[in-house]
Chain A
Amino acid sequence: MKVTVRFFAHLKEEVGIECEQLELCAGSSINDLVEALRERYPSLRNDEKYLIAVNSVRSKLDRRLAEGDVIALLPPVSGG
């Protein structure tokens, strides 16, 4: 299944892209995706502080992903 991953703020700069599509095995969880991303972008291993949102909703790491999901890696926020 295909999912889209979005990066923001310093994570976007560390991985060098804003957005990418990834092919995952059916039934993959957010945990599986994070592991795959850490393999692909070793700099993510140094940064444990980001939250994950699936389709704009904060999600737990054991959530199963579905075809077409948009997963965002969110560093600590600083708006206002």
Chain B
Amino acid sequence: MIKITREDFSVDEVIKSLKKREVGGIVTFVGIVRGESQGQLVERLEIEAYEEMAVRDLEEIRRTAIERFLVEEVMIVHRVGDLKVSDNIVLIAVGATHRQEAFDACRFILEELKRLVPIWKKEHILGGRSTWVRDEPTSAS
């Protein structure tokens, strides 16, 4: 399942939906709004997406991950709109027979999402300044 949504998501619900006989492990990644950016306090985050294209890209990334890592199921949820510090931004959940494939697929999906998918974040710094986030290093969440 792929979803771009303004609403929050329940990690428990997604995990529950991934449980089936073949699955022996579920790896999840949850990206949340950091309260600090380059030494400054973040007030909120604005997230914009080109939704039609983002969904298409995420479906392609999901298909590739399932084929390449032979995992059973992948769910990706990405939020848009105005988010507060510590709010959920993104959830990637991978169910697989064994853990290694699940970890590898989850990492692959996250890196591809950050590299390709037309979604943009604007940080609003406490005190008024705001900037569009660009070229985050791959180690950041």
Contacts and interface: CB of A to CB of B under 8 A. Distances in A.
Nearest to B51: A56
A9 B80 CA distance: 12
A80 B92 CA distance: 10
A6 B50 contact: yes
- Which interface class (under 10, 10 to 19, 20 to 34, 35 or more) fits A? 10 to 19
Of A10, A72, A74, A77, the most chain B CB neighbours within 10 A belong to: A77
B78 A79 contact: yes
Given A8-B120, A9-B132, A56-B56, A80 B50 contact: no
B41 interface: no
A80 B118 contact: no
Contact of A79 (B52, B119, B132, B135): B119
B113 interface: yes
Contacts of A9: 48, 120, 122, 132
B119 A72 contact: no
Given A6-B50, A72-B53, A78 B134 contact: yes
Contacts of B110: 80
A76 to B, nearest CB: 5
- Which interface class (under 10, 10 to 19, 20 to 34, 35 or more) fits B? 20 to 34
Nearest to A10: B132
A72 B49 CA distance: 12
Nearest to A56: B53
A53 B120 contact: no
Nearest to A51: B118
Nearest to B117: A79
Interface of B: 31, 47-50, 52-54, 56, 78, 89-90, 110, 113-122, 132-136, 141
Q: Nearest 8 CB-CB pairs, A to B?
A: A79-B119, A9-B120, A56-B53, A78-B133, A80-B114, A10-B132, A78-B121, A80-B113
